[in-house]
Structure 1
Amino acid sequence: MKLLLVLLFSCVPLLAGAQEKLPKDVARFVENARMCEHFAGEWDDNDKTRQREITQAVASSCGQAQRQWKRLSTKYAGQPALQKVIAENANDAVRSFRKSS
């Protein structure tokens, strides 16, 4: 058990380092895309206040991620490694987001 914990915690700096190597604008996109997907998967019919918070979070994170996705796809068109990160994080929630009227 201790060995498993040691191995697990020894990998954490590697994961953090991988995220730090991304340009700041790509790292922000990844974070917004993840938040978009998270909030887009939530729904709470029983709590109108919570549902309003979720709707606002979706509009904010998905809207930002969608704008970033389009801009970054063009900006990093000649960089396959960054294009792959961008494409992998442009989830369905980001791609299909439509601002409600």
Structure 2
Amino acid sequence: MKLVLAFVFACLPLLAGAQEKLPKDVAKFVEHAQTCEHFAGEWDDNDKARQREIIAAVDDACGQAQRQWKRLSAKYAGQPKLQKIINEQANDAVRSYRKPG
């Protein structure tokens, strides 16, 4: 888990630099969407504790990104450049996320 968090935090400055010109809400969405995609691609059958951590991270990041995606799509509907970024970042993990239970 520490290695994954170190990787995510190491990438944040790169994301922040690329997102400086984006509105804060769109930049936050991009961050959540990328984190969602990262954790949705992980699976660890051998370590049940790690798997619970992955599921919690997916629920958090994907849930937030999906809610943001719907809200931002409506908010920036008249701004093609932002709409393109939002649509590109709404990856399969964000679009298909369903809260378990």
Post-superposition offset of 1:44? 0.2
- 1:56 equivalent to 2:49? Answer no
In the aligned structure 2, how far is the partner of 1:38 from the partner of 1:77? 27
Unmatched runs of 5 consecutive residues or more in structure 1: 1-11
- Misfit runs of 4+, over 4 Å: none
Q: What's 2:70 paired with? A: 70
Aligned residues: 88
Q: What's 1:46 paired with? A: 46
- State the AA in 1 paired with 2:87: A
- State the AA in 2 paired with 1:19: Q
Post-superposition offset of 1:19? 1.0
TM-align CA RMSD: 1.6
- State the AA in 1 paired with 2:31: E
Q: What's 2:6 paired with? A: none
Computing the radius of gyration from Cα coordinates, the structure with the larger value is 1
**DSSP-derived class of the 2:42 partner:** coil
Q: What's 2:33 paired with? A: 33
Superposed CA offset, 1:26-70 (max 9, x none): 000000000000000000000000000000000000000000000
- State the AA in 1 paired with 2:59: A
**DSSP-derived class of the 2:45 partner:** coil
**DSSP-derived class of the 2:77 partner:** coil
**DSSP-derived class of the 1:34 partner:** helix
Unmatched runs of 5 consecutive residues or more in structure 2: 1-12
Q: What's 2:23 paired with? A: 23
Q: What's 1:95 paired with? A: 95
- State the AA in 1 paired with 2:45: D
Identity %, equivalent residues: 75
The 10-residue stretch of structure 1 (33-42 or 18-27) with the greater mean CA deviation from structure 2: 18-27
In the aligned structure 2, how far is the partner of 1:77 from the partner of 1:53? 35
